[in-house]
Structure 1
Amino acid sequence: MLPLLAALALTACGGDDPTRLNTGDAAPAFTTTSLGSASVKFPDDLRGKVVVIRFWADWCRYCENEMKAIERVWQRHKGEGLEVLAVNAGQSKAEVEAFIRKIGVTYPALLDEQAVISKKYGVLALPTTYFVGKDGTIRAKVIGEADEATFERVAMELLK
């Protein structure tokens, strides 16, 4: 956990200030792998879809219930073009696998073992969630815990 905290603390330092990433900004591109070892290129692989990018870790006390709530929303709307990318912030593949297996979510869990993507998005607290519109622009941002109704409302607005 200490390397993750150090990596996240570095977010506020240096040239580009990712902490200013907010609604209306283009969502930063990234490439990583999923738990199944598939390469994921965002936004290239998901153009034209509404994408929820969810940053989490297994030690985050709010992440488990929220990830289950996101699963329910995703199951209802994935056929309409809703995608969820659960980006783990700074943990190993084994830790990510164990947690995903424990909570039983089925949307893609992505690896960010060095917290590179997390820094690019200016993640300073977990959970942090970005809702990206079909055009690749950040349309909403939630820092901290949100309930199923909030995810449903924002997703439905973007899927219109």
Structure 2
Amino acid sequence: MEQIKLKTLGYGLLLTLLLVLAGCGSSQPQLQNGQPAPGFSLPRLEGGRADFPGGFAGQVVAIRFWADWCPFCEEEMSDLEPVYQELKDRGLTMLAVNVRQDADTAERFIRDLGISYGVLLDEEGAVARAYGVMGLPTTFFVDREGVLRAKILGESTPDVFTGIVNELLAETPK
């Protein structure tokens, strides 16, 4: 009987600790749809820099956070390449933001995938933190006005991705 009480007490303390730690997350507020997307400037894998949102005015932008250790990221990146090819001439830009890895690691990962959309390097994770990224992959959809309109946490299907992008592309800029 005493062992059961101690075991129950132990589980109770563990649960309390987990709840306290969950509440000790980032003080950065979660981004909400309808808010301006945070701006950033990151190095491009192929050289140069990408300045968002300034360098992408008037475009629908899908910002995808990923890393090479993420098993869903590789499949999704390959699956979304044809979607990008289909929609880029209508105003879609995709930015694949590698989180907390160096250029060599990112290059090795994407080399065989045939990815033609922009790959950016967030080696310190500052942009991922600004966006409140809690898991990978995470995708944010930004409209032509630079406003956050949708978010997908986890893997997406091409159909879901295309549906969101087509809706944003169909909107008339203000």
TM-score normalised per structure 1: 0.89
1:13 match: 26
Select 1:69's aligned residue among 52, 55, 79: 79
CA distance in structure 2 between the aligned counterparts of 1:141 and 1:158, rounded to whole angstroms: 13
1:34 match: 44
- CA shift, 1:13, in A, is 2.9
CA distance in structure 2 between the aligned counterparts of 1:102 and 1:12, rounded to whole angstroms: 36
CA distance in structure 2 between the aligned counterparts of 1:107 and 1:141, rounded to whole angstroms: 19
For the pair 1:85 / 2:95, whether they are aligned, the reply is yes
Matches within 5 A, 1:1-150: 12-14=25-27, 17-18=28-29, 20-150=30-160
SS of residue matched to 2:71: coil
Worse-superposed segment, 88-97 or 65-74: 65-74
Query: Which whole-Å deviations, capped at 9, do the CAs of 1:78-111 have from their partners, x for residues lacking one?
Result: 0011000000010010000111102221100000
Structure 1 residue identity aligned to 2:25: A
**Unaligned stretches of 5+ residues in structure 1:** 1-8
Q: Does structure 2 conserve the Cα–Cα contact (< 8 Å) formed by 1:73 and 1:152? A: yes
CA distance in structure 1 between the aligned counterparts of 2:88 and 2:110, rounded to whole angstroms: 19
CA distance in structure 2 between the aligned counterparts of 1:13 and 1:48, rounded to whole angstroms: 31
**RCO comparison, higher one (Cα < 8 Å, 6+):** 1
Alignment size in residue pairs: 148
Q: Which has the larger radius of gyration?
A: 2
CA distance in structure 1 between the aligned counterparts of 2:106 and 2:163, rounded to whole angstroms: 28
Query: Which whole-Å deviations, capped at 9, do the CAs of 1:24-83 have from their partners, x for residues lacking one?
Result: 111000001111111110000001100000000011010011111221111001001100
2:12 match: none
Q: Percent identity?
A: 44
- CA shift, 1:124, in A, is 0.6
Q: Does structure 2 conserve the Cα–Cα contact (< 8 Å) formed by 1:22 and 1:141? A: no
**Unaligned stretches of 5+ residues in structure 2:** 1-21
TM-score normalised per structure 2: 0.82
